[in-house]
Amino acid sequence: MKIGGIPIRKKGKFEQSRAPQKPSMAEQQVNKPAKQPKQPRQSGGKKGWIIAGVVILVIALWGISGYNGLVSMDENVNGKWANVETQYQRRSDLIPNLVSTVKGYAKHESQTLEAVMAARSQATQVKIDPSNCTPQQLAQYQKAQGDVTNALGKLLAITENYPDLKANQNFLELQSQLEGTENRINVARKDFNDAAKEYNVAIRRFPKSLIAGMCGFDKKNYFEAETGADKAPKVEF
């Protein structure tokens, strides 16, 4: 087709409907959005929590172990005290028979016999809770039992004036039992003192002193040595 002598070319159907070309690879790379850098994992915080948990667990286990140890020592002290009371009670049970036997041969020694029974009565009235006793209470208990020991010593001393009494088989048996009981009392008192001192040292030493303070483990009192109060009466055969 010519217009004004100039040839005009018609667009073909293919050229009219052809889709725009895709951008090249280079263009795609340029137009592609940049990737965001990966954030590092927060592993340090998690590790810190694990370490803290382990530390807390170790401290808890130590605290439980220390507490249980102090409880065992406290119960040991109470057990030793129970043995002390048992031996004193054994002696108290022997006294009526001993006094009755002596009275049959030494009626004129009524004052000495009454003193023994009075001391025994006074001693049986003094009771102590080892888990909650003051030094004054323990001293009172010790004095009461010491008075019994002294009264028995005087009673056995007067028997030297009565040969028939010393030959009495029942009296000899009671003497033997009394001597054995006095020895067991001394052993029981020593065992109690040793247990109480061990306990007292434990609650004062760091770090168990922290547990003792928080859980109410208080100091234990123990027997003090007294002249004549912790000695068995002299028994001669």
Helix (H, G, I), strand (E, B) or coil at 3: strand
> Under a CB-based contact definition with an 8 Å cutoff, are residues 157 and 187 in contact?
no
Distance of CA 32 to the CA centre of its chain: 74
39 vs 115: which has the higher pLDDT: 115
Query: How much is the pLDDT for 230?
Result: 43
Query: How much is the pLDDT for 32?
Result: 56
Helix (H, G, I), strand (E, B) or coil at 106: coil
Mean pLDDT of 36-50: 67
Q: What is the distance between the terminal CA atoms of the chain, rounded to a whole angstrom?
A: 163
Please say if the pLDDT value at position 227 is more than 90.
no
Cis (ω within 30 of 0) for the bond into 207? yes
CA distance 181 to 103: 22
Q: Please, what sign has the CA dihedral across residues 158, 163, 166, 170?
A: negative
Helix (H, G, I), strand (E, B) or coil at 217: coil
Q: Give me the chain's average pLDDT, please.
A: 82
181-195 b/e (C-beta count within 10 Å ≥ 16 → b): bbebbeebbebbbeb
Please say if the pLDDT value at position 130 is more than 50.
yes
Go through the domains of the chain in sequence order and give each one's CATH number: 57-215 (1.20.1440.20)
> Token pair of 158, please?
């007067």
Mean pLDDT of 169-195: 94
